[in-house]
Amino acid sequence: MDTIGRVAGKIALVTGAASGIGAAIAERLSEEGASVVLADINAEAGEALAAKLRGAGRSAVYEQLDVTSEADWQRVVHDTLGVFGGLDILVNCAGVATGGQELLHHDFANWRRTLAINLDGVFLGLRHGGAAIVANGGGAIVNISSVASKAAVVRGAAYCASKAGVAQLTKVAALEWAPLGVRVNSVHPGYVETPLVEALISQAPDAAAMRAVAISRHPIGRLGLPEEIANAVLFFASDEAGFATGAELLVDGGYALP
């Protein structure tokens, strides 16, 4: 295995790693020399990606994880330490995007589910994955927030609130853990070409028109690519970002500018 890379020799745990942005992050960290734990609720896709990475001569394992379950988090971190002996990098990427509900009529169950996955999941990752990084002598955590933490989206109350919560939770962790050698930063994507975004667009009465509107909100003139988000995460995860903590990086094609 080629150990030359920007995160060579590091152990990384990525949630939501079976598809979309999470899969791109796991692959990018692996390309740059990290041993990667792919954690996701989707066992079939997660196992397939782990096998693909191993087939390329890289070190990767899959762990089934429901990010809203504290017992799952405890098991996954325990297994990670058992297999690799430590943890250096945590990427909290697992999330859900639900829209189409105006606040006056917002379903409480939808609200609770969105907050549980997007915010509680990050808290549990910090609580258990972060503790393992502290015990290992320090490292880097990257939380995936969203441009929706900065720019409100109509009929997106739960999503916007959860992602704004991730941004502030990141800053608290960065402040508390800086003396412990742990850097904590957040990446804020715009709309990215992923199954999650495609599902949201397809729910519109006119999907083509919805896609055109989404693209028009990005001054760059297109949606983002998962690999572009993964590159931003790689920077924060690497020693190149050694003086960055509590930072927010918008990778949104200019969405938040207007």
Banded model confidence at residue 3, pLDDT cuts 50, 70, 90: low
Q: How many helices (H) and strands (E) does the chain have?
A: 10, 7
Closest CA relative to residue 180, chosen from 133, 231, 220: 133
Name the residues annotated as catalytic: 159
Please compute the mean of the pLDDT values over residues 168-196 and round it to a whole number: 97
pLDDT at 2 over 50: no
Across 101-105, 150-154, 227-231, which has the greatest mean pLDDT? Answer: 227-231
Count of all residues that appear for the chain in the document: 258
Cα–Cα distance for residue pair 193/222, rounded to 1 Å: 10
Instruction: Looking at the structure, give the CATH architecture of the domain made up of residues 11-190+225-251.
Output: 3-Layer(aba) Sandwich (3.40)
Longest C-alpha distance within the chain, in Å? 55
Q: What is the pLDDT of residues 79-124, one digit of tens each?
A: 999 999 999 999 999 999 876 789 999 999 999 999 999 999 999 9
Ordered by start, the domain boundaries in the chain are 11-190+225-251
Closest CA relative to residue 62, chosen from 84, 80, 47, 41: 47
Structure tokens at 199: 């599902």
